[in-house]
Every structure is written in C-alpha cells, then in structure tokens.
Amino acid sequence: MLLKDRISIVTGGSSGIGRGIALEFAREGANVVIADRRESPLQGKYHEKDTSTPTVQEIEKLGAQGTFIQSDVSDESQVTELVQQTVDHFGGVDIFVNNAGIHIPGGSQDISIAEWDKVVGVNLRGVFLTTKLTIPHLKKSKYGRIIQIASVHAYRGGAGPAYASAKAAVINMAKDTALEVGKFGITVNAISPGYIETAIQDYLTLEQIESSLEKTPMQRLGLPKDIGRAAVFFASDDAEWITGTSLLVDGGASAKT
Ligand SMILES: NC(=O)c1ccc[n+]([C@@H]2O[C@H](COP(=O)([O-])OP(=O)(O)OC[C@H]3O[C@@H](n4cnc5c(N)ncnc54)[C@H](O)[C@@H]3O)[C@@H](O)[C@H]2O)c1
C-alpha cells in the first residue's frame, strides 16, 4: 500500500473526480476526510447515473477509515472548522487535495458578475483558503502534500472566462506555494484532467461529447479513477522530489493542439 495510514482531505469528495481520488487513496490505505457541501453523490444525465452511496461507505468497504465533514471551500470559517475537525479526529493532516470545483458555461456576455465571483470563489479563492489554513499542519507531517485539480482548460480558451482563468491561476499557485513550502518537505503539484465522465458534463450535448471522444487518442473518455491514480502518485513517496509541476491526464487529447 502506497499511502498506509496517511491522513488525507479531499474537497468535493462526494462526487465525480473527488470520489475517484478518495477511493484510490482508501485502496492505498489512507484515512480520508470527504469535505463537500453535500454528502450524497451528484448523479449526471450522461455519467454517474447510478452512483448513489456516500463515498464514506465505499471507503469503509475498502477497509479504510472515512469521515464526511460538510464544508463549503469558499467559506473561511467552514475551511477553518474542516481542518480543525480533521486534526482533532485523526491527529494531523498529511495530504490535501483541492478538487472541489464548479463550472458555469457561457462567455463574458452570458455569465453574470455574480456568477464570475461564484466560480472564482470556489475554484481559486477556495484553493487559497485551504492552502493557507492547512500548511501549518502539513509542516508537522513527514509526508506533506498539496494536490490541485486544475484542467486542460487552464491552457486554452473555450470554457468561459471565469473557469479558465481560475484553473490557470491554480497551476501558478501550485508553483508559488511549492517555492514557499519546499523547505518543510511539502510538495505542491497540479493535475490537469481532460474530459472525465462526471455530472459536471451535464451542460454538453451528445454531439459535443462524441467530439471529445474523437479527439482522444486513447479511444475512451476519462474516468474518475484515472485522476485518482495520478493523485496517488503525487501523494506517494515515489513523488517526493516532484513539486511545482502540472500533469496533463487527458488520454492524449492535448497532444494534438
Ligand atoms: N470532469 C471533468 O471533465 C473535469 C475536467 C477538468 C477539471 N475538472 C475539475 O475537477 C474537479 C471535480 O470535478 P467533477 O467533474 O468531479 O465535478 P462534479 O460536479 O461531478 O463534482 C464536484 C463535487 O464538488 C462539490 N462541490 C462543489 N462546490 C463545492 C464547494 N464550494 N465546497 C465543497 N464542495 C463543493 C460538489 O458537491 C460535488 O460533490 C473540479 O475542480 C473540476 O473543475 C473536471
């Protein structure tokens, strides 16, 4: 097991990619705190249609310890409470995965200023809050890790101004934070997923999904587990000298652009 007894927090861990990461962490022996606004998983119209059990139940089936802590990552007091409750319950934090994210489709003339604030509030401000409030605890760990879930949209347009900018910023925040905390043995890396089959894709048409598949050299769309395995790598001892980087996990789709 690569993460035996490590204490991890996965934001947005009730659904989709976060759930995939949480289950791979559990398979590798980690204790996992699921930090999400809701406990029941999101069910999409294309993907995750039959997913219904809370992630913690699935973690326990794998023989690991899981705990759900209701929290909104864009709220400072809730993030403070999340970190404190984790430390009280498990005795510390080793791995923090910034996965919670939202997407509101539309260009600059479609989305409102309030919607911009909402997307940036969760996808960027939320990452700053969790990073700021977790580092004091990660410093005490022998295996401190921060993993940001960015996106292929960090590198190109097409996903709307708020989402794309926040994701690009998160990759740069990983570099900046890596410089700050390397001396404490903490690594900070980003994973940039391509199309992953989750409920976040509900806004797309079937034709758009088909087009994403056609652009994927590996001949299938991504699954939450694909990102989960990449996160296990960054969290493990195998990646102890890798920091400040971003890994594309997209079935090769970006290789052509
Ligand atoms: N699915 C993809 O193709 C894809 C591609 C690139 C990047 N991503 C990124 O991966 C991450 C996860 O996406 P997903 O596809 O699993 O989405 P999803 O919508 O399936 O799940 C997101 C989870 O985050 C939770 N969440 C949302 N806002 C929150 C908040 N403020 N505080 C706490 N929890 C919150 C939701 O309740 C949900 O459980 C996001 O950051 C997303 O931008 C997804």
Active-site residue (options: 46, 143, 155, 163): 163
| Catalytic-residue membership of 195 | no
CA distance 195 to 223: 8
Q: pLDDT averaged over the chain? A: 97
Q: What residues does ligand 1 touch, defined as CB less than 6 Å away? A: 11-12, 14-18, 36-38, 42, 71-74, 99-103, 122, 149, 151, 193, 195-196, 198-200
> Does the pLDDT of residue 31 top 80, yes or no?
yes
Q: What integer is the mean pLDDT of 205-228?
A: 98
What residue ranges define each of the domains in the chain, with the CATH number in brackets? 7-256 (3.40.50.720)
What are the tens digits of pLDDT across the range 112-146? 999 999 999 999 999 999 999 999 999 999 999 99
* Ligand 1 probe mutation, 58, 82, 123, 200, most atoms within 8 A of CB: 200
Q: What integer is the mean pLDDT of 17-32?
A: 98
Residue 17 CA to ligand 1 center (angstroms) comes to: 7
Residue with structure tokens 């790598």?
Answer: 233
Query: What pLDDT is recorded for position 256?
Result: 81
Query: What pLDDT is recorded for position 257?
Result: 63
